[in-house]
Chains A and B, each alone.
Chain A
């Protein structure tokens, strides 16, 4: 192991971390925001709402993120009308392509997670909201969604970790994320072990940190769901 070369290039890894975290944060933000109306549409049993959303999630959950990313980055250039439109200024950029692919991907998974928890809202809570005279939208906004968000937290934390790991695909389309830094070390000095191992350590650290954050959040938000421990 050539530790001095890792330390000499450690800036690359910190810049890569910034890129990875930015991609992760914004794709989760965009995908998460989009998933809320889609999950509601999916939870209504109405065919016109349910079916198209189901097709969207089935497509994105049944195919590899790598190919989805390629499709946005390499594929869209096939169409002249896209290359000539104003959209091309955005779609030419690898960062935006990665962001679009990741957002759609996490949106599909989050939609299904959220739908599951919307559908399993305890009946009593809905009945109580009805009895209190709440209409369907108010019920959704005040009772069903907050309850579903809280119960979905453990499943969602898995999705976040999955997305962090998936974001390493960005390096394949030339972005300098954490793995991009590792690949640079490999290409520049032929140091495979040093570069990729350092990347692995960075990802591992972020994974542990995210897990710890979610555990805290769960403990705080789901306090009422845990059994009470007798205090003497």
Chain B
């Protein structure tokens, strides 16, 4: 225990990076999720096909495989393209590879989240908005978005809880998150159990805080909405 206290600044640094990876990936996944849902709901068969292929493939491959593929494989591809155009050697750092992969993976899950939430909004409301002379953007901002958030929140929260745990994988590609640092500290002090157990507790705290935050958000976005 005393040992853990001595290493608190280090573990805290790692935890901050873990949270940063989580939040950046979340932002990417929300953008991709909205795009994916838009593709799935659009009338264009090309957009539909692309969105469907995206979600099927991503959900069929382990996250860690995609991460290594992007980290090592992406590097090769980028530099082959770079060679062709005569760029300098481009290095994909672990942070970029990590958040891109996690964002890409959870974008597929977010696609389903947003698609389901959109379908829960009665079509009549959107028609009514248009009938009032709102532009498509105003309809989105005033009618669709507030309700989209309300309906999407439970599944969105679930995705976030899975995602924050998935961030542990970035330690494999050398990013110094809380898992990486604890593993290293455990090895050098010969007390791996103490440190790894500490990491598990840190993750439990993160998920518990997230749960509380999500509950608050759900209450907020359900104001004026009867719970059943």
List residues of chain B with CB within 8 A of the CB of A179: 62, 64-65, 68
Q: Are A66 and B69 interface neighbours, CB within 8 A?
A: no
Question: Chain B nearest CB: distance from A227 CB in Å?
Answer: 21
- B28 sits at the interface (CB 8 A): no
Which one, A71, A79, A171, contacts B196 given CB within 8 A? A71
CA–CA, A75 and B200, complex, Å: 12
B165 contacts the other chain (Cβ, under 8 Å)? yes
Kindly list 6 other residue pairs between chains A and B, CB separation below 8 angstroms, not including A62-B204, A63-B199: A64-B168, A65-B165, A75-B186, A78-B191, A179-B65, A204-B60
22 A-B pairs with C-beta separation under 8 A: A62-B161, A63-B207, A64-B165, A64-B168, A65-B165, A66-B169, A66-B172, A67-B168, A70-B179, A70-B196, A74-B187, A74-B196, A75-B193, A76-B193, A78-B191, A164-B62, A165-B62, A168-B62, A168-B64, A193-B76, A203-B61, A207-B61
B63 A62 Cβ-Cβ under 8 A: no
B66 adjacent to A200 (CB under 8 Å): yes
Which 4 pairs between the two chains have the least Cβ-Cβ distance?
A192-B72, A64-B168, A75-B193, A165-B62
Known: A74-B192, A193-B76. A208 touches B200 (CB 8 A): no
Give Cα A193 to B203, complex, Å.
32
Q: Which residues of A contact B57 (CB under 8 A)?
A: 204
Say whether B75 faces chain A, with CB atoms less than 8 Å apart.
Answer: yes
The interface on chain A, measured as residues whose beta carbon lies within 8 A of the other chain's beta carbons, has a size of 40
A81 close to B (CB within 8 Å): no
- Asked if A118 is at the interface of the complex by the 8 Å CB criterion, the answer is no
Interface contact B65-A182, CB-CB below 8 Å:
yes
Please measure, in the bound complex, the distance between the C-alpha atom of A68 and the C-alpha atom of B197, giving whole angstroms: 9
If the complex has contacts A196-B68, A207-B60, are A64 and B203 also in contact, measured as CB distance less than 8 A?
Answer: yes
Complex-state Cα separation, A62 to B205, whole angstroms:
9
Write the A66-89 contact mask toward B (1 if CB under 8 angstroms, else 0).
111011001111110000000000
B69 x A192 contact (CB < 8 A): yes
Report which B residues bind A (CB closer than 8 A).
57, 59-66, 68-69, 72-73, 75-77, 161, 165-169, 171-172, 179, 183, 186-187, 190-194, 196-197, 199-200, 203-204, 207-208
Q: Write out, one digit per residue, whether chain A residues 184-210 have a CB within 8 A of any chain B CB (1) or not (0).
A: 001000001100110110011001100
Let me know if B69 and A208 touch, CB within 8 A: no
Q: Give the chain A neighbours of B61 by CB distance below 8 A.
A: 165, 200, 203-204, 207
- Pick the most buried of A79, A197, A200: most chain B CB atoms within 10 A of its CB: A200
Q: In the docked arrangement, what's the CA distance between A197 and B70, Å?
A: 10
A62 to B202, CA, bound (A): 10
Q: How far is the CA of A207 from the CA of B191 in the complex (A)?
A: 38
A172 contact set on B, CB distance < 8 A: 64, 172
When chains A and B are docked, how far (Å) is the Cα of A207 from the Cα of B197? 32
User: In whole angstroms, what is the CA distance A22 to B192 when docked?
Assistant: 28
**Could you say which residues of chain A place their CB within 8 Å of the CB of B199?**
63, 67
Question: Is the CB–CB distance between B73 and A192 below 8 Å?
Answer: yes
| Contact A197/B60 with A62-B208, A70-B196, A71-B200 known, Cβ cut-off 8 Å | no
The verdict on A63 contacting B60 (CB below 8 Å), with A71-B193, A76-B193 known, is no
Best-surrounded residue of A70, A169, A208 (most CB of chain B within 10 A): A70
Cα A62 to Cα B169 in complex, Å, equals 15
Q: Please tell me if A183 contacts chain B, counting CB pairs below 8 Å.
A: yes
Q: Is A26 interfacial (CB-CB < 8 Å)?
A: no
Q: Are A203 and B65 in contact (CB under 8 A)?
A: yes
What's the nearest-Cβ distance from chain B to residue A194, in Å? 9
In the complex, which residue of chain A has the Cβ closest to the Cβ of B204? A62
Report if A59 contacts B (CB, 8 A).
yes
A166 on the B face (CB < 8 A): yes
A158 to B69, CA, bound (A): 24
> In whole angstroms, how far apart are the Cα atoms of A172 and B183 in the complex?
13
Q: Tell me whether A62 and B207 are in contact (CB under 8 A).
A: yes
- Residues of chain A within 8 A (CB-CB) of B166 are 64
